[in-house]
Structure 1
Amino acid sequence: MSHTKTVVVTGFGPFGEHKVNASSVAVQELKKLNLGDDVSLVTEEMPVIYEDIQEIVPSLWKQHQPILLIHVGVSGIAEAITLEELAHNTGYVQRDIKMKTPDTGCCIDGGPDCIISRLDMGAVCEHINQTNCGIQVVTSKDAGRYLCDFSYYLSLSQDCSCAAFVHVPPLGKPYTAKQLAKGLKMIIQCLLNQVVPNKM
């Protein structure tokens, strides 16, 4: 019996110098790729606004009950596709596109300082880097204390066994949108191999 697996992938809208956000472009390209007949891909572009993210992230989990949820964001300093291993609760002092920050500077009042994903990001990196696909993947323990880190913390607080965050470099530095989408597809396939035995 075949079960359809729902995978939710989000990108972010424009902010600051990123008038075209590579994360959103990469997610749009991902929609053109076949993730498998048993995978239902849901994509969403999220605004770079703390208040909105606090509502959108929990609603994505509730509405779609995904087997895997991946947030994708752009990092101006990244030179490779970067898998974030954890997210932080405090330190959100950088203003969003509405020039606002969270009232208390944190994601969830009273929440743990950080939440670590139970997905093995190192194993994903190792697998993809061994394929000689021309795309380098690395891990990170600092998602940046901005909307990326913020959204990831909210998702990890929902279910840390099937939430991930991927930072992509800006377009052309060095990857095209198609290459980023290819990298995202490979990451999703690796992560599905980790979560499916636990969820089915």
Structure 2
Amino acid sequence: MGNGKRTVVVTGFGPFGEHTVNASWVAVKELQKLGLGPDVELHVHEVPVEYQTVKSMVPLLWEQYRPQLVVHVGVSGVATTVTLEKCGHNHGYKRLDNSSFCPDSQCCVEGGPECIDSIIDMDAICKRVTNLGLGVSLSVSVSQDAGRYLCDYIYYTSLHLSQGRSAFLHVPPLGKPYSGEDLGRALRAILLEMLELLPQDQDTNHCEHAH
């Protein structure tokens, strides 16, 4: 439809706490091996679990690649499915990061709205991916609470910068129950559906309905 390739940036997080190997980065590296097909230029980056690094790194990714879509991936110790997060939150960042820092204001963007929703319809993505049947008993669910830690923080930062043109996925820890390969395949399926549903022309905001 559009001319030329579409650019997608995907991030995973580095180790933190008990997650000495972060399943999100393993999943993203598996996704990179699989690729998103010849029409999509995929760039992946590992992000340290640090508020200040996220704050400086995310705008650089948007500037450097001018992507159609940025997807951040994080691990959740309580997740048992691949979870599509609908929105990011501005306040409530009290947990210290890897460098024992948390924002004084406990918020992401001073004066920003409390919640920002992704323009991607996560319920629709969830249905479409579930209907694909990924060949692994992989289930996908939807959530409205990304957890008020670096996952929520990076998501809100990206949503704020991109007027909602971002997504966030939580994956379970490796082996609980999925392997890195399973997660990579799931990410690929989810991202391809997101690209299908994403309004093609990012310069016009007025015509984003399906025809």
Give the structure-1-normalised TM-score: 0.97
| Pair 1:125 & 2:112 matched | no
SS at match of 2:168: strand
| Pair 1:13 & 2:14 matched | yes
- 2: CA distance between counterparts of 1:157 and 1:145? 16
1:158 aligns with one of 161, 168, 181: 161
Partner of 2:148: 145
Partner of 2:177: 174
- Report the CA distance between 1:79 and its aligned residue: 0.2
2:196 aligns with one of 190, 193, 198: 193
Partner of 1:106: 107
| Pair 1:67 & 2:62 matched | no
Contact 2:68 2:165 in 1 (8 A): yes
- Report the CA distance between 1:199 and its aligned residue: 3.3
CA deviation profile, 1:56-105 (whole Å, cap 9, x unmatched):
01111111110110000000000000000001000000000111101210
The RMSD of aligned alpha carbons is: 1.2
Larger displacement relative to structure 2 (171-180 or 153-162): 153-162
CA deviation profile, 1:14-48 (whole Å, cap 9, x unmatched):
00000000000110111110311111000000000
- Report the CA distance between 1:2 and its aligned residue: 4.2
Counterpart amino acid of residue 27 in structure 2? A
Contact 1:82 1:167 in 2 (8 A): yes
Aligned residues between the structures: 200
% identical aligned pairs: 49
Contact 2:35 2:42 in 1 (8 A): no
Q: Which runs of 5+ in 1 are unaligned?
A: none
CA deviation profile, 1:89-147 (whole Å, cap 9, x unmatched):
00000000111101210001111111111110001100111122221110000000000
- 2: CA distance between counterparts of 1:101 and 1:192? 34
Contact 2:72 2:155 in 1 (8 A): yes
SS at match of 1:165: strand
Change (3 A) 1:138 1:37: same
Q: Which runs of 5+ in 2 are unaligned?
A: 204-211
Counterpart amino acid of residue 156 in structure 2? Y
- 2: CA distance between counterparts of 1:196 and 1:110? 28
- 2: CA distance between counterparts of 1:97 and 1:174? 26
Give the structure-2-normalised TM-score: 0.92
